[in-house]
Amino acid sequence: MKRLVIIDDEPAICQSLQFALEDWYEIYAFLDPHEALQLFARTEIALVLLDLKIGSQDGIEILQAIKQVSPHTVVIMMTAYGSISSSVEAMRRGAFYYITKPFPTNELEALLQNAEEFYDLHSKVLWLSEELEKLSAGFGLIGKSPSITRVLELIEKIKNIDSNVLITGESGTGKEVVARAIHFQGNRRSKRFQALNCAAIPEKLLESELFGYEKGAFTGAIQKKPGQFVLAEGGTIFLDEIAEMELALQGKLLRVVQERKVTPLGSTEEKPIHVRIVAASNRDLHKEVKAGRLREDLYYRLNVIPIHLPPLRERREDIPLLTQYFIRKLSERMGKPMDGISNEAQQLLTSYAFPGNVRELQNIIERAIALTNSENIQKRDLPQEMQGLRPIHREQKLIPIYIGETLEEVERKVILHNLSANGGNRRKTAQVIGIGERTIREKLRSYEEE
């Protein structure tokens, strides 16, 4: 139900309009336009019925004030017969149309229906533009390595089918980018893509965010709100960090996944949904299932088509391509033309472990462009913690490895020798050999326990 604001200095008109339209809209009526403007600042308003003359105040000035605060709100001017010329001027200033007093209810309803369709269309165009802008960034889907090529081929195969998809990979590898690519390259691209980070929303709010709620469902539920599943109708819902969800809510999500129906909080009515579900996690989900933190039945329901995104350190051949891509896109966005990157700086980037993956590379390039005084990114423009790294091919010290040694023994030598060479610095060691700092800690702990 969309919100409609009525602004008129005659109480009788406000009351009659509210009575006539309250079945179709959530109505807010104001005699004072300045009180109405406070509402626009804190909530989204779809439609406005605005009197052209409100006491001594000019409705066109109020119109302009509304457009400044909420440019996408559709405003219909109400006017007396003698002020039609002023109404035309109001349309030039951004009003959708005007209606002359007194007006029959059916004429107003038809005009409001047209205004509502215009608002929906305009909102959809804005949303699509934003989503295409995000997709066009393509962060994470640039590369020629076998691993990223397989991901791109898989996206092409599954883009038009409705099966659930489960994307795994470390933070920053581009899981949401893959989800968006599946949606916007497939036959659901004209519908909504709703992304929800399950780890970013408090548990008590997550259920209502997913399934929606009815007015009065709980304290503070002053109006009805659709959930993410309903908003994604016909399109795709992306549930990031799915393993962070509490078990009780996992059970409710499982029911939705199985039955394709949702029940808003405070309601007994089930609503059928037709959405594609794409879930993602940066955790080892097999371990999460074994530990009892992720329901096994939910895992298998979601894991119909698995996609694993490799960390950037496992596709180093893509780093130069990503670097050039980021330089081109970010320099254009920042209005600071750049020719490229020096060989020394590129070698340093290629040698770096990137614990933050593609997202970290993007941030490093953006920072370098912002701070450099050169037309090329130089080694000095890269973060200080990278300056001590040496290109892999220049390493001179050797680690002795003998025939007959196990991989576990070789791994132990590599970790301990590099740790010693880096003065016991675990973070730097992890960056040099291309594993996570947490893995380093766990390995060292296991060595101490032996």
At residue 132 the predicted structure's pLDDT band, cuts being 50, 70 and 90, is: low
pLDDT at 163 over 90: yes
Phi, psi torsion values for 311, nearest 5 degrees: -65, 160
* CATH 1.10.10.60, domain 397-449, yes or no: yes
Structural domain boundaries in the chain: 3-125, 146-310, 313-393, 397-449
State mean pLDDT over 118-141: 64
- Give the helix ranges, DSSP H, for 138-243: 146-158, 175-185, 203-211, 228-231
Q: Which of 229, 222, 215 is nearest to 265 (CA)?
A: 215
Query: Do the domains spanning 3-125 and 146-310 agree at the CATH topology level?
Result: yes
Mean model confidence pLDDT for the chain: 87
Look up residue 16 and give its amino acid.
S
Give the three-state DSSP class for 352: coil
Q: What would the pLDDT profile of 360-375 be if each residue is shown by its tens digit?
A: 999 999 999 999 999 9
Residues 27, 20: Cα–Cα separation, whole Å: 10
pLDDT of residue 136: 46
Least confident interval from 86-100, 181-195, 295-309: 86-100
At the second CATH level, the architecture of 146-310 is 3-Layer(aba) Sandwich (3.40)
- Taking the C-alpha atoms of residue 107 and residue 110, their distance in angstroms, rounded to an integer, is 5
Instruction: Rounding to the nearest 10 degrees, give the CA dihedral for residues 60, 61, 65, 67.
Output: 20
Distance CA 233, CA 236 (A): 8
Given pLDDT bands bounded at 50, 70 and 90, which one contains residue 84? low
Kindly report the length of the chain: 450
pLDDT in tens, 384-439: 877 665 554 444 467 777 777 788 888 888 888 888 777 778 888 887 787 877 88
Q: For the CA atoms of 54, 58, 61, 62, what is the dihedral angle to 10 degrees?
A: 0
Residues 6+ apart with CB under 8 A from 14: 6, 8, 29, 30, 31
Cα gap 73→116, rounded to integer Å: 10
Residue 238 is predicted with a pLDDT of 97
pLDDT at 144: 84
Least confident of 85-94, 146-155, 184-193, 242-251: 85-94
CATH code, 3-125: 3.40.50.2300
* Antiparallel, parallel or unpaired: β 271-272 and 261-262: antiparallel
Fold category of 313-393 in CATH: Helicase, Ruva Protein; domain 3 (1.10.8)
With a pLDDT cut of 70, the percent of the chain lying above it is: 92
Could you tell me which residues are beta bridge partners of residue 98?
77
What would the pLDDT profile of 24-72 be if each residue is shown by its tens digit?
A: 999 999 999 988 998 887 888 999 999 988 888 888 899 999 998 888 8
Q: What pLDDT, on the 0 to 100 scale, is given for residue 138?
A: 47
Strand partners, 195: 238
> Quick one: pLDDT at residue 133?
53
